[in-house]
Structure 1
Amino acid sequence: MKYPELLSHDVARVGIEESRKLNLVVGGMITDVIKTSLGPRGMEKVFIDILGEDTITKHGGAFLRKVDVKHPVAKAIIEGVNTVDTHVGDGTISAAILIGMLLSKSQELLKMEISPTTIIKGYEKSLEFALDILDEIKKKESTANKKVMYRLATSCLAGKAMTSLISEDISIANLIVDAVCSVANFQKKEIDIDDIKIEEKAGNANNIQLVRGTVVDKTIDNSAMPRSIENAKILLLNEPLEMMRTKTDEQIEINSPEQMTLFLNQETIDIRAKVKKIVNSGANVVISRKGINSIAQEYLSKEGIISMRRVKMNDLSWLEKSTGAKTCKSLEDISEDELGFAKKVYEKNIGGDKMVFIEGCNNPKSVTILLRCNSKRYLDEFHRDALNVIYVLRNFIENSFIVRGGGATEAIIANRIRELSTTVEGREQIVIGKFADAIEEIPITLARNVGMDPIDTLTQLRAKYANCPKDTLKWYGIDSEKRKVSEIFPDGVIEPLVVKQQIVKTGVAVTNMILNVNDIFMKDEIDNTHCHIDGTVHAHHDGGKAHNHFEQEGLEQRQMHHYY
């Protein structure tokens, strides 16, 4: 008896063994791509897109987002790395390394005939151990401690483009810490990242500055207006100072030159009435989201008022926070509460473009970091570096527990998990041991990238913890400057606790998700899909060469053939 086939001819099945093998190999490939960027001595990556524009970065999340991948496992790993980047803003490369090494160790365990279910349970148990260990070794610090925040910032910036291209005399870490402290609410342990505006302009990297206010990438509207005003009263508008076209088609019948003159004069009268309302309010700086025509500009300049038109909505939001102004609801009734204050508003030439600085505000809730660099490529990298530091400081403000860096935290977790694995019976004990080996790869990769021998580093690191008294907590990690295994001191490299927690959680979650997949079914990709005029949709494996497009109807009666 002949049985029908289960799958269509254009559906292929990879198979259980081959699928798992392929999934685990793909995970290792993603890790190999990005692991050389870890640490202060990590190397940068260059990505060139389809338009020929290049991106230079050592930010793991930014680089992996640029790379287009087809395999679903590779996509899952990149999404996991993006999750770490979104939630904590740092640790993306460490997360990629951990996922890759867990998949690699899973391959070894499968060869030992340990089932995927046992591996998944072992990794989940290891995650519980790792989080408990982190809770034991964490240290509480004062949220408003600027010294700790400065060390967190310098640890995050170590080896980044921002520190390598900026003079040592300029402390970019202090600048970002001051920006964060200006907008943070330490009592509620809250900070809104969007309260810090990051503006970019070409120029000397040593001219990076923090403006305690808002920088608007616009020019003052009219050359007759003053270039600078002190003790400015700022009015924010969301309505135009010009005549607007109606939404519906309207016609005006004018029968004489006198009527034309009256019509034009009425426009001037309306604009002048609006300007008079502004003058009476006491405002001397007007910033509008909509247009300001030449007539309004002329009247404003005569009154010594600065105006800026067509300012972005985001800039108005930052100006509200920094100056205390409120966007005016109606020019007919401008209240004093709607006016903001700044000690100085002035126009300045930055990188060949004119920008307006609104600074010296009373207790600003929004500040601006003005980034400068000679290259647009590195300006983008500076932006990513600054955001990394801001996210790290936000993590510390919201959860003020820290651990030490340099791979010391991962080494402690690996050492203690090996000890705890003996309390677990069955094959899960072997899985937990492999988890310890996987997380230990992070300090080993760090050592490899600074030029140390990985095998010697591994033996030294394990020996240090083996000889350490059980009642004493020692932080042995990789000293990147001296290129040796040594103790990481409290005034050295530190990191927020939540970053380490997120790395471990994401690493185990993504790995277990991939291990749960045991087979792959693929439908053939066909590019020659098309539709006939009668609604028939079909495709050709051969590009349609053997297909009778005319369906025996003759040249004059052939059907339309649309490709998509």
Structure 2
Amino acid sequence: MKYPELLNHDVARVEESRKLNLVVGGIILDVIRTSFGPRGMDKVYIDILGDDTCTRHGGALLRKVDLKLPAAKAIIEGVNAVDTHVGDGTISSAILIGMLLRKSEELLKMGISPPTIIRGYEKALEFALDTLDKIKKKEDNRDKKIMHRLVTSCLAGKAIADLVPEDMQIVDLIVDAVFSITNFQKNSLDVDDIKIEEKAGNTNKIQLVRGTVIDKTIDDSAMPRSIENAKILLLNEPLEMMRTKTDEQIQIDSPEQMVLYLNQEKIDILAKAKKIVSSGANVVISRKGINSIAQEYFAKNGVISLRRAKINDLLWLERSTGAKTCKSVEDISQDELGFAKRVYEKNVGGDKMLFIDGCNDSKSLTILLRCSSKRYLDEFHRDTLNAIYVLRNFIENPFIVRGCGSTEAIIANNVRKQSATIEGREQIVIEKFADAIEEIPITLARNVGMDPIDTLTQLRSKYANCQDGSLKWYGIDSQNRKVSEIPPGEIIETLAVKQQFIRTGVEIANMILNVNDIFMKDEIDNTHCHIDGTVHAHHDGGKAHNHFEQEGLEQRQMHHYY
């Protein structure tokens, strides 16, 4: 008796899929770990258009790389989750995931089943989190010295710390920005309240603006370039004639009627402009258009106008100036007007930008980043955002641990000790987890030029000689390239980052280990959509395609290929 094939001809079953998944984790580990630490190396990614991205940010690089296998995509999603929630620890999470998968491969060769490995990793995660709870230290989240050290540790070795001059004090600038808008009563900080603008220029011209900077110029050259004690009106309706959404016709029978029509258009626009000026507003920023008639009237009355601003700019202006987007020009309330000490136009990097500065009780600030290269400006933006996230983590959860790989070394030492209390094969799995998390200080040592084997033996020796009950923080001294005790307050990191990357590493590794089969369907080219919404595909490149043939060549509908 002949049995029919289970799968169609265009569906393939990937042989040894689990082995393939584990190999993928090791490949990503080898690619990303050379960027770890203060002596990490940059990576360059060139996209299909030829645009290049130069970064040592783990999340940014992995987001750029277009990987096909589901296991690789799962690792990238895990790294993105760490980046989204805590803003730092992306490379650490990629290293941990890769090492856990590599250790899983060794365990499978020893005959330990995947469910046993998964249970062992889960128990090891509990031991690791318990260790973090024991070694964490609580600090005052209003202490600027602690914030300064957190940002310094976060930016160590990154582009913004290497290229910005020391007298620029970029760390103080970021700390001041965060401290100014943090709600310490609720211990909360909205990262979106800090606007980051980029412009080509000299790095020593990076500045913090206590207000909002808009990358646009004033509408008319006749308008004033600067206004003191500005009253700001935000508009979401046009000061110009708009096309109707429905088809309408106006019948004009004579030249006189045409003149009347144009005059009425001018009268309507001027009436709105007069309402705005009479409200006391001397700065008008609109999301929609402002035509030349209204611009001329504003210029005569000493009013600055800015048209077609982005919706996000209006949101930042609401927070920084206290303004509210006007509901109706016909009835402008004084509560809808915002205030700024000064509104002025300034030439920045060859372009004119509008500065709304000196806002009272500003709940939104702008950091204006300057650098001579666009690729480094993007990296500056990522580095600044990372530092802001780190401070937000500290404000919401004011617990810290020491860095330089010392925290991971303590976790590995404690987990290895606790593994002896577990019976069965899971004990071996927990020991492999300790080896995996120990790879983080080893990678740090390797990237600063130290011998990884000597470093590993020294670390284990120092922790083995510690007296019971005493907590010592031995890590990698990157400056002197040796294993030494990390002094308190030198290199510190937030507890939230450590907890997040360890949790994510175990979850992603276990998810990949749970997969034992992959079925792949052949990709079909020439997938396309017709104007009537019909979506289909064919293998022949569309040669025999006659979906609309019955209508005749002249009436055939359009094709939209994608």
Corresponding residue number in structure 1 for 2:154: 156
Corresponding residue number in structure 2 for 1:169: 167
| Aligned 8 A contact 2:233 2:285 in 1 | yes
Corresponding residue number in structure 2 for 1:13: 13
For residues 13 and 220 of structure 1, the distance between their equivalents in structure 2, rounded to whole angstroms, comes to 62
For structure 1, list consecutive stretches of 5 or more residues without a partner in the other structure: 551-559
Pairing 1:547-562 to 2, within 5 Å after superposition:
none
Q: What do residues 224-249 of structure 1 show as CA deviations (whole Å, max 9, x unaligned)?
A: 11110111111111112222233333
Give the direction of change, closer, same or farther, for the CA distance of 1:233–1:119 in structure 2 (3 Å limit).
Answer: same
**1:387 matches 2:366:** no
| Aligned 8 A contact 1:208 1:371 in 2 | yes
Deviation for aligned residue 1:255: 4.2
Q: What do residues 284-334 of structure 1 show as CA deviations (whole Å, max 9, x unaligned)?
A: 111111111111111111111111111111111100100001111111211
Corresponding residue number in structure 2 for 1:85: 83
Deviation for aligned residue 1:473: 0.8
Deviation for aligned residue 1:71: 1.3
| Aligned 8 A contact 1:407 1:446 in 2 | yes
Q: Quick check: 43-52 or 175-184, which moved more?
A: 175-184
Corresponding residue number in structure 2 for 1:421: 419
Give the direction of change, closer, same or farther, for the CA distance of 1:196–1:530 in structure 2 (3 Å limit).
Answer: closer
Deviation for aligned residue 1:2: 4.0
| Aligned 8 A contact 1:475 1:488 in 2 | yes
SS in structure 2 opposite 1:333?
coil
Deviation for aligned residue 1:527: 4.5
| Aligned 8 A contact 2:323 2:336 in 1 | yes
For residues 460 and 250 of structure 2, the distance between their equivalents in structure 1, rounded to whole angstroms, comes to 89
Give the direction of change, closer, same or farther, for the CA distance of 1:506–1:269 in structure 2 (3 Å limit).
Answer: same
For residues 528 and 226 of structure 2, the distance between their equivalents in structure 1, rounded to whole angstroms, comes to 64
Deviation for aligned residue 1:81: 0.8
Pairing 1:62-141 to 2, within 5 Å after superposition:
62-141=60-139
Q: What do residues 133-171 of structure 1 show as CA deviations (whole Å, max 9, x unaligned)?
A: 001111111111111111111111001111111101111
TM-score by length of 1: 0.92
Corresponding residue number in structure 2 for 1:206: 204
Corresponding residue number in structure 2 for 1:25: 23
For residues 477 and 65 of structure 1, the distance between their equivalents in structure 2, rounded to whole angstroms, comes to 30
Deviation for aligned residue 1:21: 1.8
| Aligned 8 A contact 2:232 2:285 in 1 | yes
Q: What do residues 20-71 of structure 1 show as CA deviations (whole Å, max 9, x unaligned)?
A: 2222111100111100000010000000000100000000010001111111
Q: What do residues 508-543 of structure 1 show as CA deviations (whole Å, max 9, x unaligned)?
A: 111111111122333444558999xxx9x9976xx7
Pairing 1:478-557 to 2, within 5 Å after superposition:
478-525=476-523, 527=525
Which residue among 324, 327, 332 is the counterpart of 2:325? Answer: 327
Corresponding residue number in structure 1 for 2:45: 47
For residues 506 and 206 of structure 2, the distance between their equivalents in structure 1, rounded to whole angstroms, comes to 40
SS in structure 2 opposite 1:345?
strand
Which residue among 385, 397, 410 is the counterpart of 1:412? Answer: 410
For residues 355 and 537 of structure 2, the distance between their equivalents in structure 1, rounded to whole angstroms, comes to 61
Corresponding residue number in structure 2 for 1:240: 238
SS in structure 2 opposite 1:169?
helix
Deviation for aligned residue 1:12: 3.6
For residues 68 and 76 of structure 1, the distance between their equivalents in structure 2, rounded to whole angstroms, comes to 12
Give the direction of change, closer, same or farther, for the CA distance of 1:21–1:350 in structure 2 (3 Å limit).
Answer: same
| Aligned 8 A contact 1:529 1:563 in 2 | no
Give the direction of change, closer, same or farther, for the CA distance of 1:462–1:233 in structure 2 (3 Å limit).
Answer: same
Deviation for aligned residue 1:336: 1.1
Q: Quick check: 291-300 or 132-141, which moved more?
A: 291-300
Q: What do residues 180-210 of structure 1 show as CA deviations (whole Å, max 9, x unaligned)?
A: 1122111101111111111111111111111
Give the direction of change, closer, same or farther, for the CA distance of 1:252–1:113 in structure 2 (3 Å limit).
Answer: closer
> Over the residues paired in the alignment, what is the CA RMSD in angstroms?
2.3
Deviation for aligned residue 1:117: 1.2
For residues 405 and 267 of structure 1, the distance between their equivalents in structure 2, rounded to whole angstroms, comes to 67
| Aligned 8 A contact 2:525 2:537 in 1 | no
Which residue among 177, 188, 191 is the counterpart of 1:190? Answer: 188
| Aligned 8 A contact 1:82 1:92 in 2 | yes
Q: What do residues 458-492 of structure 1 show as CA deviations (whole Å, max 9, x unaligned)?
A: 11111111111121111111111111111112221
Deviation for aligned residue 1:376: 0.8
Give the direction of change, closer, same or farther, for the CA distance of 1:438–1:293 in structure 2 (3 Å limit).
Answer: same
Tell me which amino acid in the other structure corresponds to 2:292: S
For residues 530 and 338 of structure 1, the distance between their equivalents in structure 2, rounded to whole angstroms, comes to 49
Corresponding residue number in structure 2 for 1:266: 264
Pairing 1:220-299 to 2, within 5 Å after superposition:
220-299=218-297
Pairing 1:284-363 to 2, within 5 Å after superposition:
284-363=282-361
For residues 250 and 113 of structure 1, the distance between their equivalents in structure 2, rounded to whole angstroms, comes to 78
SS in structure 2 opposite 1:94?
helix
Deviation for aligned residue 1:7: 3.8
SS in structure 2 opposite 1:187?
coil
SS in structure 1 opposite 2:146?
helix
**1:438 matches 2:436:** yes
For structure 2, list consecutive stretches of 5 or more residues without a partner in the other structure: 547-555
Tell me which amino acid in the other structure corresponds to 1:312: K
TM-score by length of 2: 0.93
For residues 244 and 344 of structure 1, the distance between their equivalents in structure 2, rounded to whole angstroms, comes to 33
SS in structure 2 opposite 1:486?
strand
For residues 563 and 283 of structure 1, the distance between their equivalents in structure 2, rounded to whole angstroms, comes to 48
Deviation for aligned residue 1:11: 3.9
Tell me which amino acid in the other structure corresponds to 2:151: A
Give the direction of change, closer, same or farther, for the CA distance of 1:258–1:474 in structure 2 (3 Å limit).
Answer: same
% same residue: 78
For residues 495 and 361 of structure 1, the distance between their equivalents in structure 2, rounded to whole angstroms, comes to 33
Give the direction of change, closer, same or farther, for the CA distance of 1:13–1:328 in structure 2 (3 Å limit).
Answer: closer
For residues 246 and 549 of structure 1, the distance between their equivalents in structure 2, rounded to whole angstroms, comes to 40
Deviation for aligned residue 1:276: 1.9
| Aligned 8 A contact 1:213 1:323 in 2 | yes
For residues 146 and 537 of structure 2, the distance between their equivalents in structure 1, rounded to whole angstroms, comes to 65
SS in structure 2 opposite 1:451?
coil
| Aligned 8 A contact 1:197 1:368 in 2 | yes
| Aligned 8 A contact 1:236 1:328 in 2 | yes
For residues 246 and 98 of structure 2, the distance between their equivalents in structure 1, rounded to whole angstroms, comes to 61
Give the direction of change, closer, same or farther, for the CA distance of 1:131–1:247 in structure 2 (3 Å limit).
Answer: same
| Aligned 8 A contact 1:284 1:306 in 2 | yes
Deviation for aligned residue 1:414: 0.2
Tell me which amino acid in the other structure corresponds to 1:230: E
For residues 9 and 354 of structure 1, the distance between their equivalents in structure 2, rounded to whole angstroms, comes to 61
For residues 303 and 292 of structure 1, the distance between their equivalents in structure 2, rounded to whole angstroms, comes to 16
Alignment length (residue pairs): 544
For residues 11 and 292 of structure 1, the distance between their equivalents in structure 2, rounded to whole angstroms, comes to 58
SS in structure 1 opposite 2:484?
strand
For residues 229 and 346 of structure 1, the distance between their equivalents in structure 2, rounded to whole angstroms, comes to 6
